[in-house]
Each structure stands twice: as structure tokens, then as C-alpha cells.
A = this chain, B = another copy of it.
Amino acid sequence: MKACGLIVEYNPFHNGHVYHLKNAKNVSNADCMITVMSGSFLQRGEPAIIDKFYRTKAAVTSGIDIVVELPYAFAVQSSDLFARGSVLTLQALGVDSICFGSESGDITDFISGYHLFNEQAELFRETLTTQLQQGLSFPEASKAAYQKIGLTTAGMDLTKPNNILGFSYVKAILENNLPIEPLTIKRSKSGYHDKTITSSIASATSIREQLFADNKITPEIAAAIPEATKEQLNRYRHIATSWHQWEDYFPLLHYRVMTMTEQELSAIQGVDEGLEYRLKKTAKHATSFENWMEQLKTKRYTWTRLQRMFVHILTNTKKRDMTFVLEMASMPYVRLLGLTKTGRQYLNSIKKQIEIPVITKLSRNMHPLLHLEEKASAAYYSILPPALQMKLRSQELQPPIMDP
């Protein structure tokens, strides 16, 4: 059986993802579609609007054959680490290809881009360092460095979010000489950051904005998501009374920072360059998450970077918990969240080739990555009533979600 991997967050799973799935299946000619999905917290440093189990259910009901979890330690990271964790996870599951969306839809742009990047690696690093020293944010400095080495041409514009992630995937595959074919399909029209829903293909950002603005699934939203997503969004909200967003976590986050010393803060992943002082100072006057972020934000500290830092504060993730992640050349396990009949057949067919444990239940003693997962899960549910927390956390100990 042939498998194709997708790297996703499904926050929530929408028609754009259906389009991605369909086209990826076409171009890859795969029998089995495998996704590696962020869990409780997302790459841009946000809580997922509904938990990973409900998102998995929507995915496997909508044609995804296997959903595995991207460990927290890779999920809430900049694009290179996020990509490395995702690609290594898919590689462990023996995918033949990985297919991602991009602006041009032409994989040769990415491959020649990668070679150009490699030839100019020194110039890139020098420019990046200089720009960072001048106080630019990492994305801004990267942009300048990509410009310097010519990676902002029409075919390969690394200022577009989807291109950056795609480039990181290609880099992770080629750098590690993985036997995976990178594939790309042209993105459908809606932009990554669009704020309003304008058609049946809308960005996840615009869908979330609309969900929170209307506090229900309007016909507009319903037109942009498959039935399975509608069902899971409604089911989750029925038990949790609302979808998750940053403001819900503000009291916990604020309490934490108010009772930590600067020294303790500086041990947390993402609290760098004196941010600990800024955090303590601004905490005294913060009245909401949004308000706090506005106080913290500067040219140097981007919104995404600050949000990721807040996730790590919330989950109490220390720098020392993360250092080993940088050294990892392969994944220690794969955690299966859900699968279809096809997914099960595929796993059976390659059972002997998978070299690492495929686990389903969260057991903290297995690996430090799972300990981080446990804390992330506890933090994610911590805004809910105690009995409900217990019930939702117990999903971590269940067998994978099956469809049908």
C-alpha cells in the first residue's frame, strides 16, 4: 500500500482541508492518507478551539485514514522544528510522499530553492545574525536574509506563511536524506490570514473569528466546513459550554506570572532576552490576554513568539525540558489518535517496518516527550469544571478513535 503524509492542525477541519486531502490523494496516488496533527496547542501559540480527540474524529470521518499526534515539544515551535518533528513522524510511519499546499504549486521551486539556500547558507546566516542584532524580529530578519540570497522570487517567495512551512518540510526531507517524495499542490484562493469568510473555502483563522464572534455555527460557517466538523464543534461545545480561546486562560496565566520570580520565568521555554522583566512589569497592569499582549509586543517580539511563550508558561515547560529536542534525529514513538479501516490495513501491512513503538495511551513513564504531553493536556483542560476535566483527560487513556 502506498501512503501520503499531510502535516496539519485542523483547527478546525474545513473545506480547504477537504480540497487539500482530495488533491494530495490525486497527486500522490496513495491508498492511505496519514496526517500528523498538533495536539492541545498549535504552532502559532494558541489553544486549539476543540480538543485533539474531537478534531481527530472530524478528520477520520472526513476521509483521513490515520491521525497521529505531533508531540508538544515540536508542535509549539518555529517552522523548522515543527517541520522536523512532523516529517520524522511521517517517516517513521513509512509514507512514500508528503504533500503540502503552496502558492505556486510547483515542487521544483522548493527543491531548487533548497539548493540555492544550501549554497548561500553562510550569507544567509550572516545576514540573519546582523538583522537580529539590529533588533528585528526573527521573521523580519529571516525575510531580509531570504531576500539577500534571492529566495523571494515569484516562484519561491519565502515571505508567505505557507511557503515558509513548505520550505521547512522540504528542508527536513532533503537534509536528512529521507526516502520521501515531497509534493505540493497549489493553495485554493483563500489566504492563510483572511479574517472573513467569503466562500465555501475559507481560512481556519476566519472560521475561528466567526465562531467566536457569533458564538454559534452560522450558515456562513456551516458552508465552509464539512458536516463532521460541524458535529464535533457542536458536541464539544455542548459539554464544555464554549470553545477554547486565549482569554479563557488569562486568569491562570496572570496568576502564574504574578507568583513567579524573574529568575523562575527565565527558566521557561521562550522567555528570552529579558522578557522576564517585561512580563512581570506588564502583568501588574494587564486586564485581559489581548491587553497584555498589546503591552508586551514590540518590533522584536512578534505576536506569535509571545503567544508561544505564553503556552510554555501555561504548561510550565522549562528550557531544560526542550534542549534534547534539538538533538533528536528520529522520533522515539508515534502516538496514534485515530484511524479508519484503510488506516488499520496500512498499519498492519507495514507493521514489521516500523522501528519505534506505535502507542495510543498517554503513559508518562515512557518518554519525556509524553510527560510534556501530559502537562499540556492538563493545562489545556484546566479552564473547565473539575469533573469535566477528568472526563476529557480520560480520553488520553482510550484506544484510538475508529471510523467507522
- Asked if A286 is an interface residue, CB under 8 A from chain B, the answer is yes
Q: Are A379 and B284 in contact (CB under 8 A)?
A: no
- Asked if A315 is an interface residue, CB under 8 A from chain B, the answer is yes
Annotate A387-402 by CB proximity to B: 1 below 8 A, 0 otherwise: 1001001000000000
A262 to chain B, nearest CB (A): 11
Known: A284-B390, A387-B287, A390-B284. A375 touches B258 (CB 8 A): yes
Chain B residues within an 8 Å CB radius of A316: 259-260, 264
- Which one of A89-97, A200-208, A248-256 is at the interface? A248-256
Chain B residues within an 8 Å CB radius of A104: none
> Closest residue to A384 on the B side, CB-wise?
B251
> Closest residue to A393 on the B side, CB-wise?
B284
Which residues from 363 to 404 on chain A have a C-beta closer than 8 Å to any C-beta of chain B?
A: 371, 375, 378-379, 382, 386-387, 390, 393
Which residues from 297 to 340 on chain A have a C-beta closer than 8 Å to any C-beta of chain B?
A: 314-316
Alpha-carbon distance between A258 and B288 when the two chains are bound, in angstroms: 23
Known: A386-B286, A386-B288, A387-B287. A378 touches B315 (CB 8 A): no
Q: How large is the interface on A (under 10, 10 to 19, 20 to 34, 35 or more residues)?
A: 20 to 34
Q: Are A378 and B285 in contact (CB under 8 A)?
A: no
Q: Are A315 and B252 in contact (CB under 8 A)?
A: no
Annotate A257-289 by CB proximity to B: 1 below 8 A, 0 otherwise: 011110010000000000000000000111110
A139 to chain B, nearest CB (A): 29
Chain B residues within an 8 Å CB radius of A261: 371
29 contacting pairs across A/B (C-beta < 8 A): A250-B386, A251-B252, A251-B386, A252-B252, A252-B255, A254-B382, A254-B386, A255-B378, A255-B379, A255-B382, A256-B256, A258-B375, A258-B378, A258-B379, A258-B382, A259-B314, A259-B315, A259-B316, A259-B375, A259-B378, A259-B382, A260-B316, A261-B371, A264-B316, A284-B393, A285-B390, A287-B386, A287-B390, A288-B386
Q: Besides A258-B375, A259-B314, A284-B393, 10 other CB < 8 A contacts?
A: A250-B386, A254-B382, A255-B378, A255-B379, A255-B382, A258-B379, A258-B382, A259-B316, A284-B390, A287-B386
